[in-house]
Every structure is written in structure tokens, then in C-alpha cells.
Structure 1
Amino acid sequence: MFKLREESYGGSEEEAAFMLSDQIIPSLERLSEIESDNRVMGGFIEGQRSGAFIFSVKDYEELDKTLASLPIMNVYDVDVAPLQTISSALDRDRNIVGEVKKAAGL
């Protein structure tokens, strides 16, 4: 989850224009490139200063490099949470049920 830091909102029109031209637009262009490579999906929440994205990366290091390449990292905080695939969660839960049944003698 991306969320604009409160102190980054800027007060003047000049600050807002700078943030848009120097940080937001270049970051959106970079995210668009990554999206065209099918390595990210998501977007910004309409009417808010936050967004949600799912990155397809091999490890945390690749995610860190990708995020570091975005100029908005200077003004946004990011919460990262790894996702487990649905099939992996299903396998995990089926294994748990099997272990519980075995322990119960069923």
C-alpha cells in the first residue's frame, strides 16, 4: 500500500507543480513500463492520496530495487506484505486438516 506522507502534501502551487512534474509523473511513467511487462498491477485509489499495487518479483531484493527506482519513494510511505497464492493456501489448509484428522484418529 502506498500512502502519501502528510508532510509531503505541499502548501504552495509551486510545490505541488514540482511534486507532480519531478516525482509523480516520472513514477507513473515507470510504473506504466513495469505494468506493460506484466510485473505490476494495481493503481491509485480515486480521490485519495494512496494506492495499492501487486508486484510480481522473484524476491524482496528485486522489489526493493523496483521501489527505489520510483521518485515518489521520497514522498510516499509503503507497506509491503507478501501474498500467498490461493493454491498454496489451499494445499496448506488441506495438509492441516489431514494432520488434525490423523492426530484425532479419524
Structure 2
Amino acid sequence: MHNGDLNNKVDVSALPCSQACENNKQPILEVLQIELQDSHHVLEIGSGTGQHSVHFAPHLSHLKWQTSDVISNHRHIMAWHQAYPTPNLYAPLAFD
């Protein structure tokens, strides 16, 4: 099943959304593509809604992208991951 098929099963409009994440995801990605080119694993601390992780992970496919946040945010992160799956994106770790 490809990404488009799964998106039909997830109500993307119901996902929590941070406008700041939407506004800054591309400029941040451009920096990460340079700074992380020789890295293999990233621990994203404070993944919030999960929006950045689903944008960055497919563009940085050489990395294992590990999300983390307080447990109360895990359901939001996992919802974004379900809507936009990618093989190098990992479920959040509890981080308080």
C-alpha cells in the first residue's frame, strides 16, 4: 500500500496542526540536509504534533528518525505517522 492509499483512511484534516511547524519545516529541512549528511540516527526531542518528523524523515531517508515527547503527545505523533508513513520513522519514546 502506498502513501496515498493510507491517507484515504486517515482524516488528515483532523490531525493536530501547528502553523509554526508548517511555516518553518522547509527552512529547517534545508539546514538538516547539510548538517546531518554524515549522520545515521536522530533523536528528535519534543516532537510535538509529529508534523516535522513526517516532513523530515522521507527527505532524510539515510537517517533513523526517532521521535520523542511526553506521553500525552504520543497519540498525535502516531496519528501523523499513520497518515504519512515512512520506513525510517520510529514511534515516539517517552521523554519528560
- Specify which structure has the bigger relative contact order, considering alpha-carbon pairs within 8 angstroms and separated by 6 or more residues: 1
TM (norm. structure 2) is 0.31
The structure with the largest helix share of the pair is: 1
Q: State the structure with more CA Rg.
A: 1
